[in-house]
Chain A
């Protein structure tokens, strides 16, 4: 195995008792027209695990999720999703991956109710030739109950707060009955109290529904207590391991620079911390 850097922690080092690998990157690189977004990624994501992806802005975290969704075939190396290459990935495979994208500016006046937004999660699952029916409406309702938003079913989506919208998008992903849930910075732009509500919700989904979770965040301290493994990313994968293994000054400094501080409580302080 080619290690990009000496401090690279072996991906299989931490022994977690999880199922077969669902996602397998092998020396995979991903290109945007301007240049490489991810290089030489080797990573396995096992059934039932909770993987946190950390790294500074622009380090390719969103790109990694887009790759898992099969939206970006690798330019080099290989990526197997449910043991399929991206090109063979069928719609029903995609429907098995729930995706909560990084919050973009959602038009607050876009005419869509909470119920309609969650029902979109059923579109890919039931396929082109079937129309949504009573069963789908019940699934959507249950998904809203799972995130504690059932009472808002008929509200306009745009009228909700950022944290509530985020929970609706999580419900939309859950309505797919996915095997894997990908969340991209789910707590960005939400107040601190709600941030913890959302993180608790994600933890609960992981434990109760045995969902495989891949959570992206640039907020190391929020994600570290929950994720079973952390992956440290900056175009390359610098380290993969447990929080204890990764949250060390010498490892984090490779990505965040020498200004990084780690406290005795395991807190990380990034000096040039910037939000997008």
Chain B
């Protein structure tokens, strides 16, 4: 084990996994409590379409991923607010549309580009120091905002209208939350991939949800589970030569079912419905 840790790329992978695991889990608490799971999925796939477009036109991938991710998050947030459409329908439409765009962009490329697929499945073992620094900075920003405005975000998650009525600018915080979700998804895209970022947003918070009846403890548990499972996933995948993303997610899923089985809430049903 000590030998592993002297490997530069493995060190970076472990730090990257801990950062994304903690970041996704922290914001995921609000995703789960506020019932925004589908926004996570929609945003992840839209961001991937942004990456595909960037590779097609030769632009840097992150800014375009952010534009696509933010656009999707905000538009679905607006749709939810208006109550014009049921949210699962509007998200479903975005989800398929952005996925179709991504496939279209990839199909239009003259040559096969393996790097694009890295954003779909993640490539944690090839994370560079610069990427790690950017991830760290953004994770600091997102978690810092969540922590500083925790009383507002928790209130929002509990009951947005009540929050608005009692003098919290809840609508602005809802859109700030959507923005932070989009940033989190884009930051995690390179590391865990568009498909698995969604799992990291949901599984650690859903596991924590099973274990406690307190908001603050749910946050604490979710972040701890997210960080530990991500680090363990990297080590396992390295040890047994497995793909990292699936190792992390399957490990998290295992922990989730353990939590369900031993949940003091005695409820054999996941938090997400």
Contact = CB atoms under 8 A, between A and B. Distances in A.
B195 to A, nearest CB: 27
Interface stretch (B1-9, B95-103, B128-136, B149-157): B149-157
A225 B42 CA distance: 54
Given A111-B209, A176-B166, A120 B214 contact: no
Contact of B155 (A99, A111, A123): A123
Nearest to A155: B213
B162 interface: yes
A131 B166 CA distance: 16
A120 B165 contact: no
Given A71-B161, A101-B161, A111 B166 contact: no
A169 to B, nearest CB: 9
Contact of A101 (B162, B168, B213, B267): B162
Contacts of B33: 110-111
A97 interface: yes
A120 B155 contact: yes
Contacts of A109: 209, 265, 267, 271
B163 A111 contact: no
A116 B149 contact: no
Interface in B100-119: none
Contacts, number: 88
A158 B267 CA distance: 13
Interface string B212-224: 1111111000000
B213 A158 contact: yes
B213 A123 contact: no
Nearest to A115: B214
B149 A128 contact: yes
Interface residues of B, number: 29
A123 B271 contact: no
B149 A156 contact: no
A123 B168 contact: yes
Contacts of B168: 91, 123-124
A92 B108 CA distance: 55
Interface in A6-58: none
Contacts of A157: 213
Report, as a range, how many residues of chain A touch the other chain: 35 or more
Interface string A66-93: 1001010000000000000000000111
Contacts of A116: 154, 214-216
Nearest to A176: B166
B151 A123 contact: yes
Contacts of B212: 111
Contacts of B215: 111-113, 116
Interface string B162-179: 111111110000000000
Nearest to B152: A123
B152 to A, nearest CB: 6
B158 interface: yes
A95 B265 contact: no
A124 B267 contact: no
Nearest to B265: A109
A120 B151 contact: yes
A93 B167 CA distance: 7
A157 B212 CA distance: 12
A121 interface: yes
Interface in A119-135: 119-125, 128, 131-132
A120 B213 contact: no
B166 A123 contact: yes
B107 to A, nearest CB: 41
Given A109-B271, A113-B214, A158-B213, A120 B167 contact: no
Contacts of B159: 101
A99 B165 contact: yes
Interface string B196-236: 00000000000011001111111000000000000000000
Contact of A125 (B164, B167, B169, B208): B167
A124 B166 contact: yes
A173 B166 CA distance: 8
13 contacts: A95-B167, A99-B165, A101-B165, A109-B271, A111-B209, A111-B215, A111-B218, A112-B158, A112-B214, A120-B154, A125-B167, A131-B151, A156-B214
Interface of A: 66, 69, 71, 91-95, 97-99, 101, 109-113, 116-117, 119-125, 128, 131-132, 156-159, 173, 176
Given A101-B165, A131-B151, 11 more contacts: A71-B164, A111-B212, A111-B218, A112-B214, A113-B213, A116-B216, A120-B163, A120-B166, A124-B166, A128-B149, A158-B213
